[in-house]
Amino acid sequence: MTSSLRLGINIDHVATVRNARGGDHPDPLRAAKIAEEAGADGITAHLREDRRHIRDGDIDRLMSEISLPLNLEMAATDEMLEIALKHGPHAACLVPERREERTTEGGLDAAGSITRLGPIVSALNERGVRVSLFIEPAKAQLDAARTLHAPVVELHTGRFCDLWREGDEAGAEEERQRIAEMARYGASIGLEVHAGHGLGYDNVAPIAALAEVRELNIGHYLVGEAIFVGLGESIREMRRLMDAARAEAGEAA
């Protein structure tokens, strides 16, 4: 029996548009509520060091005014740990962060950062926050997640998406197979496997079809598509495509 696939909506880029002009419009909280109505299973928000999109006040409002679980994406820093411990979101996804990057570039090097990450993961676990590590689909990174006692990993799908959009079918398929293999391995060692980064209507199906992947986190594409069709409709279409791919994979199994 094929497990269901959850959809987490990243609302960061609603805040990016708001911040381009200042003020309060468009409101990320309103986007979160629309996402819930459209069938999302959770909300993701990345509070960056430079507050380029989500602000501290957004986290306050999301925690108090939405019923969906909040996944707080955060750098592994003392400042962000303090904020996460204060709010106690459902989940916290540790991601690499560089001030000069436009978006998250690649996965966290958990394997090379066990000493630094250990106290952060432990503190979040003790607070009851479900820790996720945003990592490359590589065995060493998955083993590190298990060593750190992080219950969840999110596999970086950015390379797969780049190859897909470049028309490199062979390269994209090779990367998809790597993601599939590492999803199976992660599940076999007791990790809950999520995936995300760069996914859109055209390339979500091959990832959604992977039985070991329990959740996809998608944001930028859906916010962009919302300009043309509205946020609710963009999310509903993504939900439809994910569910169709999952059902087809289940029938073929």
What residues are labeled active site? 46, 73, 197
- Separation between Cα atoms, residue 109 and residue 82, nearest integer Å: 22
- Separation between Cα atoms, residue 127 and residue 103, nearest integer Å: 28
For residues 132 and 152, is the Cβ–Cβ distance under 8 A? yes
Q: 78 vs 61, 75, 231, CA distance in Å?
A: 22, 9, 34
**Residue 203 dihedral angles phi and psi, to the nearest 5°:** -130, 5
What 3-state DSSP class applies to 91? Answer: strand
